[in-house]
Structure 1
């Protein structure tokens, strides 16, 4: 069977994204045909920086310039796998630097990856990490990938993060904590839950977290949890089965007993849901955007400027898991 083509946006070139793509290429090519939205000139810069840091590291470790062991670990991406974005502004890689041009280029790489999926050339998008402030410096009017996708497709994308053992979908994602309460309405949450059920057809039961301590203690600490419970009831009635369970107090929802029962969770707020996920599965988890015309998955970590082009140990697991997710997804 022919492998699916996956459009890969390379993220902020001053971070670890390019090295992850290079080091994982041989592995992910077993499952898909990666198409990298990057210019050859940028790759050449990356290779030069990585080889230089590898030589320096080898000199420190062995006191000799003859060691090429580190260099042998850098596979070359074939030119046939490059689909550079249509921009003339090619940034100069400055490891670990926050830069508007690198922000603009990561956005161009991302939008081009979406174009490749929209045109049918690729099946899905896999994104490497961007720096949100670099996007802002470049004048890009979106907080990040998920916000840009919502705007591009005019749909309320659902941010879901996790791994095979645990997934957490976020009812609200990148907004201030003070704004969360006002977002919680029965109708909006009901539609969110129904969209999630449609987008994750293999979901059996899903735990829905409350908002206030002890789910409000019957209204003693807020009325939002009653609205959440109403939304759960209405969604289950529409589905004809009790798929969603809750509202559950967030402080005990991720206990071993509950995690043995639930693989999927819904959190009202970003950090409440992601703190336990990252504590348990930091290197394995991925970021998926659901409820859109295209499928997008991403690594669940940042640009790691402190590790970029420094011959440091990098985990490829989140990237590999994200690739496997989009390849195995239906459609």
Structure 2
């Protein structure tokens, strides 16, 4: 029996459903995808894409219907993407699927639908009451984010010793053996307090976490502007970034097409594409499938482990 993977179809006004259908034949060789979308919405999407639906599609019927408008932000598409995701989670919780792989949602569409979450990871965190960790990347480089979708002005005040230490320990539980470089917050990693003192907190949390783990898994704080240079990456391919763009700007510059998004420290397996809804190319048959294919393979690696 091949593993079953629930596919949350994301915002149907974007590229997610195109990517899923393009990739179906390929991924069906290694897993059984269960698409969280109803027949009416799938037929509408297929007509817009001018494609014939494969006969072996397995669907989980998601409640709701609306008119797909390629490239448009709407509360209807936002609500449907939310329902698709929640149904995919439920399939895992009831052991009807082994993992969830998500297509991109649009945060503004969720807001229009009066959904008070800033994204998939935020919803997972609140649904399971667990401190989900967002990690993105590919085998060449993974970046775990200490803070995610918060304003930059709030990052420094979010760096608290106990919270950061627990983050390191939770990350260790998911990645037990790999060496992990921890980025400093400030330029030059603070220059010993000249450019900021957040690195004192980071250092304390690293030392305490390593002591509890029993070996020097976490290193740093590392000067951020040298952390992703070729010479440094010879020794590390796992990183902790203090804020979103600090880690994801270099990751996407180096590995945009192949990167995936992985949610760690949860009772279910969830991976995702590492890109947005790409409204500008929605239903134009231009979407790249590599991130999705890697997301499927990543989910399978967690299942097999």
- TM, length-normalised to structure 1: 0.90
For residue 212 of structure 1, what is the aligned residue in structure 2? 186
Q: CA deviation at 1:78?
A: 2.7
> Mind listing any 5+ residue stretches in structure 1 that lack a counterpart?
52-70
2:136 alignment partner, SS class:
strand
User: Structure 2: any 5+ residue segments left out of the alignment?
Assistant: none
Retained in 2: the 8 A contact 1:158–1:291?
yes
- Per-residue CA deviation, residues 155-185 of structure 1 (Å, 9 max, x unaligned), is 1100000001100000000001111111111
Residues 135, 263 of structure 2: 8 Å contact kept: yes
2:259 to 285, 291, 296: 285
SS in 2 for 1:261: coil
Note if contact 2:46-2:53 (Cα within 8 Å) is conserved in structure 1.
no
Give 2:66's aligned residue.
91
1:147-186 residue pairs with structure 2 within 5 A? 147-186=122-161
> How many angstroms apart in 2 are the aligned matches of 1:317 and 1:310?
17
Question: CA distance change for structure 1 residues 211 and 46 in 2, over 3 Å: closer, same or farther?
Answer: same
User: The residue matched to 2:60 in structure 1 has which SS?
Assistant: coil
Query: What are the equivalent positions in structure 2 for 1:98-137 lying under 5 Å apart?
Result: 98-137=73-112
**1:61 corresponds to:** none
Q: What SS class does the counterpart of residue 96 from structure 2 fall into?
A: coil
- 1:10–1:127 Cα contact (<8 Å) kept: yes
For residues 112-169 of structure 1, what are the alpha-carbon distances to aligned partners after superposition, in whole Å with 9 as ceiling and x for unaligned?
0000000011011100001000000001111110000011000110000000110000
Match of 2:300 in 1: 327
- Structure 2 distance, partners of 1:111, 1:228, is 35
What corresponds to 1:36 in structure 2? 35
Question: TM-score, normalising length from structure 2?
Answer: 0.97
Q: Is the 8 A contact 2:270 2:299 kept in 1?
A: yes
What do you get for the CA RMSD once the two structures are aligned?
Answer: 1.1
The alignment partner of 2:287 has SS state of: coil
Conservation of the 8 A alpha-carbon contact between 2:206 and 2:219: yes
Q: Name 1:6's counterpart in structure 2.
A: 5
Report if aligned partners of 1:22, 1:77 keep a CA contact under 8 Å in 2. Answer: no
Instruction: Report the counterpart of residue 247 of structure 1 in structure 2.
Output: 221
Give the aligned partner of residue 23 of structure 2. Answer: 24
The answer to whether the 8 Å contact 1:12/1:105 transfers is: yes
* 1:79-109 CA distance string (max 9 Å, x none): 5x10012x2x211111111110010000000
Task: Render the CA deviation track for 1:226-269: whole Å, top value 9, x for unaligned.
Answer: 11011111111111111111000111111101111101000000
Quote the offset at 1:317 in angstroms: 0.5
Structure 2 counterpart of 1:82: 59
Which residue matches 1:300? 274
**C-alpha deviation, 1:43, in angstroms:** 1.1
How far did 1:77 drift? 5.4
Match of 1:66 in 2: none
Q: Which whole-Å deviations, capped at 9, do the CAs of 1:245-296 have from their partners, x for residues lacking one? A: 1000111111101111101000000000000000000000000111111111
**Residues 130 and 77 of structure 1: is their aligned pair in 2 closer, same or farther, counting only changes over 3 Å?**
farther
**For 1:204 and 1:289, how far apart are their aligned partners in 2?**
17
Is 2:254 the partner of 1:276?
A: no
Does 1:258 pair with 2:232? yes
Task: Tell me how far 1:75 sits from its aligned partner.
Answer: 5.0
